[in-house]
Amino acid sequence: MAKQYLAQNDQGQTLAYTDRKKFWWLLSLLYPVLPMVGIALCALTGYTVALALPILLSHLGMPLLDAVLGEDVNNPPEAVVPALDQDRYYRWLTWVTVPLHFLTLLVAAWWVGTQDLSWGAVLLLAYVAGMHSGLGLNTGHELGHKHTTTEQWLARWVLAVPVYGHFTVEHGQGHHRWVATPEDHASARMGESIYRFALRELPGGIRRAWQIESARLNQAGQAVWSWHNTLLQSYAIAVTLQSGLVFAFGWVMLPFLMVHNIVAWWQLTSANYVEHYGLLRDKLPSGKYETPKPHHSWNANHVASNLALFHLQRHSDHHAFPSRRYQSLRNFENLPQLPSGYFGMFPLAYIPPLWFKVMNPRLLALPHVQGDLRKINIDPSKREALLRHDATASRS
């Protein structure tokens, strides 16, 4: 029987809440190991194409499940949230996911290093392993927002799998500060393709993380190039892991790991692109931006993909309350809503004309925008064309 969480509200009434998805959160443990399922099928059948099973499940199976299962707009009562957050079951799920990402990469590397595979098979498995290491960035995202020493270290460890150790610093202290503004390289602009976006986002994240961490260490009177640097801590784990794989399985690991890492980074770029596309915070008379609100992020309540992603798609509440644990994230009315979960939105983003056709009208129709381009974060190279189109449409 599912556990009930009890609390008293402000009126002294006792509230009881049951998380009906509680045990379905175990999907978050299954998803990181899907590449091993593909490897097992390949070993049993002898068909290399079996290695692609995780790609089909991600970009075909998950969107279909999201469409069939629909959305869950239920929220835990606010009075129950402290009790819900204290249930260590939810915390253990994120903790256990960390070694699973290491295990998946090790098994994939072992298969590449010990089997007589074609180059096509090597690159296919590198792509699949990279996709699921990209999920490790999602795990690191959840852990990196928490303030316990254990979770901070687990974030550094899991971010070492795809060599992305700068993410926690950049995301928490950079992106969350500048989200939905023209100054943020991790917030996509209207009219900007994901490929143009990646040219800003990928180098911008590394540069900003080093600036933030260097400032912290200088203020503390510590050397930037020292063990106190949290970026270097994660990078050291990454170098140890990946150089160990090269030593154990030979030079074939170099192209395998290169593709694996790039694909993992691309997964984060894809998430960043869809999460804030075109959304803009107002500038106050003081010159500062307003506090991030729920309507400054695109939200998705689709059941299946949220279970696999620790509620990452309830991104609106996350940016309004960054330290809130995933099981307690809420839905709000009148939010910017994505038509599908991330597994369906990513392939759409990879075809820019189709993305613009689907998302630009949604962006313009938002209640706080109502067609006003001044309330949209627009790609500077497309601003004049969009303004001319808007003026023409207004006159007709």
Percent of the chain topping pLDDT 90? 86
CA-to-CA distance for 323 and 328, rounded, in angstroms? 10
The mean pLDDT value for 35-51 works out to 95
CA-to-CA distance for 194 and 201, rounded, in angstroms? 10
In this model, does residue 270 exceed pLDDT 50? yes
The predicted pLDDT at position 391 comes to: 57
Cα-based distances in Å from 95 to 23, 90, 92, 98, 388:
16, 9, 5, 6, 51
Mean pLDDT of the chain: 94
Q: Residue 344 is part of which domain span?
A: 22-69+87-312+332-395
In this model, does residue 390 exceed pLDDT 70? no
- Per residue in 220-250, is it b (16+ CB within 10 Å) or e — as a string? eeeeeeeeebbbbbbbebbeebbeebbeebe
Q: Do the domain assignments include residue 79?
A: no
Q: Do the domain assignments include residue 324?
A: no
Burial (CB count within 10 angstroms: exposed 0-12, middle 13-18, buried 19+), residue 160: buried
For the record, the structure tokens of 282 come out as 């107002």
- pLDDT tens digits, 297-313: 999 999 999 999 999 99
Between strands 14-18 and 4-8, the pairing is antiparallel
Q: Do the domain assignments include residue 325?
A: no
Q: Are 179 and 171 in contact (CB under 8 A)?
A: no
- Pseudo-torsion of CA 348, 349, 352, 355, nearest 10°? 60
For the record, the structure tokens of 42 come out as 């390949």
Provide the residue type at 308 as one letter: A
- pLDDT tens digits, 187-204: 999 999 999 999 999 999
CA-to-CA distance for 336 and 362, rounded, in angstroms? 8
Q: Do the domain assignments include residue 321?
A: no
Provide the residue type at 74 as one letter: N
**Residue 354: other Cβ atoms inside 10 A:** 12
The predicted pLDDT at position 358 comes to: 98
**393 or 244, greater pLDDT:** 244
Q: Do the domain assignments include residue 17?
A: no
Looking at the 3D structure of the chain, how many domains does it have?
1
The mean pLDDT value for 222-247 works out to 97
The predicted pLDDT at position 12 comes to: 74
Q: Do the domain assignments include residue 205?
A: yes
- pLDDT tens digits, 87-125: 999 999 999 999 999 999 999 999 999 999 999 999 999
Q: Are 47 and 59 in contact (CB under 8 A)?
A: no
Q: Do the domain assignments include residue 5?
A: no
